Amino acid sequence: MNPFLLYLFLVKATLTSFSGATSLPVIQHDLVETRHVLTERQLNASMAAGRATPGPLGLYVVSVGYFVAGPAGAVAGWLAMITPAFLIIPMIRYLGKRAEIRAVKSAIQAVIMAAAGLIGAALVPLAKDALTSPLLIGIAVVSFGVLAFTRRDPIWVIAGAALVGLADSAR
């Protein structure tokens, strides 16, 4: 895929998201389902790499770019990731005085709720690709339970899941 075209797809995804992960459904639709230049497994790997590294939540788009078009794609992904930051500054200046308007607040809340629904819909195919054994399903369920119902630091949950996975692969 042409790196400029890839940039346009990725910048569309990042511009229409409020946090890094909300661009996931757009990327999945455009690059996995429609264009077939990325697989579910590569998208999963990109999400894992982006979440495992320090930095913005949307960092995974750099990995997506790399999987699609190599180093030039990674540059396109990086540019797509930083473009909204350069565009938001003038928007904040313009909308700053108007942010107290009730309609603006309602619109932002509606977009956030829609993004949450889109993330949920995008997670189903990714989970089907990633959760391929009873052990992996168990790790996911226990990890979700620990994170949702306790105040454990996520690093300990990740470390525990990694140890269980390593112990299983050593058998």
pLDDT in tens, the chain (171 residues): 899 999 999 999 988 776 667 788 889 999 999 999 999 999 989 988 887 777 777 889 999 999 999 999 999 999 999 888 888 777 777 766 665 667 767 777 787 787 778 777 778 888 888 888 899 899 999 999 999 999 888 889 989 988 998 888 887
Identify whether residues 143 and 80 lie together within a single domain.
no
Q: Are residues 65 and 122 in the same domain?
A: yes
Do residue 95 and residue 148 come from a single domain? no
Q: Which two tokens stand for residue 160?
A: 């525990």
Same domain, 138 and 63: no
Domain count, the chain: 2
77 lies in the same domain as 137: no
Do residues 64 and 45 share a domain?
yes
Nearest alpha carbon to residue 46 among 35, 34, 32: 32
**Domain extent for 148:** 131-171
- Helices H / strands E in the chain, number of each: 7, 0
Distance separating alpha carbons of residues 38 and 11, to the nearest angstrom: 16
Whether 124 and 149 map to the same domain: the answer is: no
- CA separation for the pair 38, 148 (Å, rounded): 31
Question: Do 158 and 107 fall within a single domain?
Answer: no
Would you tell me how many other CB atoms lie within 10 Å of the CB of residue 150? 9
Task: Note the pLDDT of residue 10.
Answer: 94
Judge if 37 and 96 occupy the same domain.
yes
Q: Within this chain, do residues 77 and 22 fall inside the same structural domain, yes or no?
A: yes
Same domain for 85 and 56: yes
- Domain match, 111 and 139 both: no
